[in-house]
Amino acid sequence: PGDPHPYRVERITPSALALRPPDFLKDFASVFLLNVPSLPDAEWNRLSLYVHQGGGLVVALGNRIDRANYNSAIAAKLLPAVPAQEKPKWGEIAFVVADAAHPILSRFPKEIAENLASVLVYRHAVVTPATGTRTILEYQNKAPALLERAFAGPKTGRVLLWTTPLSRKPVLNALEDPEAWNEFPADGERFWSFIEIMDRTVPYLAGVADRQLNYEAGSHVSLPLDPNNRFTTFTVQGPDPKQTDRLTEPGTKETLEIEPPAQLGQWTVTASRPDGLSKVYGFSVNAPQAELLLSPLEPRELEALFGGKDRYQLADTPEALKQVVQTARVGHEVFPWMMLLILALVTAENYLANRFYRERPAASGQAVVA
């Protein structure tokens, strides 16, 4: 039940973004530009304002981008690097971790480095980094793969730039297809580092990497609020839009305490105050981790759990499980055995009757002459 996705994603084209109000991005934790061909100056300016106000931006270069547009003056002031005019480099190379202490890599630095070393990259953009950028990942040829640029303010804004797309085109011969750039988002089992990095990117850009935004069902929620704005009214809405709660908290608190939500999924909290200023917060409610524990139990643990070894049965195949369930619900079928027993008794009785109680034939009489 509930929403299984940890993030609420809204997809929008550049033309549709141009029709939105100027403050459209203010409630988004981060914005991703995924191989976007170009943006007008007005939209670059919107993104720049969003970042300077503490927003997070991810830009992934690819085969569709207009290098001249990404080299414009307003784009160059925002991006960690601008693409050079030369064609993308191609070959079979892999990622190398350049900054293992970065927050999006620091949870599993060694494991991520090993996994990224097996990711094939066929093409990457050649870029010229801006002054003061931070290189997080690079390629085996020492070219930058992931760069960061930070903008100081009341809340630090950040821009991450990938020099290869965050998408994969499956082809037979990647080196001959100009749209096939890498194998990074192949699947979560082989290259799980993609999921880990993306999962750490959004909280990092939102400035909540160290805050708890995921809670187990039945736990109290302590939601951090913006200390610069004293909100007085909070509307809490769960996955079901028909169910909303209205809370009122003193304006001096920096956290909002919410009673344990029961429904799994995405929850939103709209904070407002009398002058009309509002802000949207969010958190996720997940199933308790204990319900996801799949470690096998020892026989003694099963006996303690069910109260004895005769109180449970084990099945290792679907057929055996079906038989065990049927036996537990219906019991063993004894009618055929009873009929067989009755037949045996009747047969034995008939045999014994014929053996011991059959009539003897009468003796034939003969006349005796004296």
281-326, pLDDT tens digit by residue?
888 888 876 666 667 778 888 888 888 877 777 888 888 888 777 7
CATH homologous superfamily, domain 14-206: Class I glutamine amidotransferase (GATase) domain (3.40.50.880)
Structure tokens at 98: 């350049």
Q: Mean pLDDT lowest for which of 107-116, 181-190, 194-203, 280-289?
A: 181-190
Alpha helices, DSSP H, located in 53-176: 67-70, 73-76, 109-116
Query: What is the amino acid identity at position 362?
Result: A
Where helices occur in the chain by DSSP H, the ranges are 14-17, 41-52, 67-70, 73-76, 109-116, 192-206, 299-306, 318-330, 335-356
pLDDT band at 3 (very low <50, low <70, confident <90, very high): very low
State which H helix or E strand residue 11 sits in: none
Amino acid present at 108: F
Q: Give 198's contacts (C-beta < 8 A, 6+ positions apart).
A: 166
Q: How many CB atoms lie within 10 A of CB 356?
A: 7
Residue ranges covered by each domain of the chain? 14-206, 214-289, 299-352
pTM of the model: 0.61
Q: What is the mean pLDDT of residues 218-237?
A: 77
| Range of 88-97, 166-175, 247-256 with top mean pLDDT | 88-97
Q: What is the pLDDT of residues 56-70, one digit of tens each?
A: 999 999 999 999 999
Q: Is the pLDDT of residue 172 over 50?
A: yes
214-289: CATH topology: Immunoglobulin-like (2.60.40)
Tokens of 338: 């009873």
Strands (E), 176-296: 214-216, 221-224, 233-237, 244-248, 255-258, 265-272, 278-286
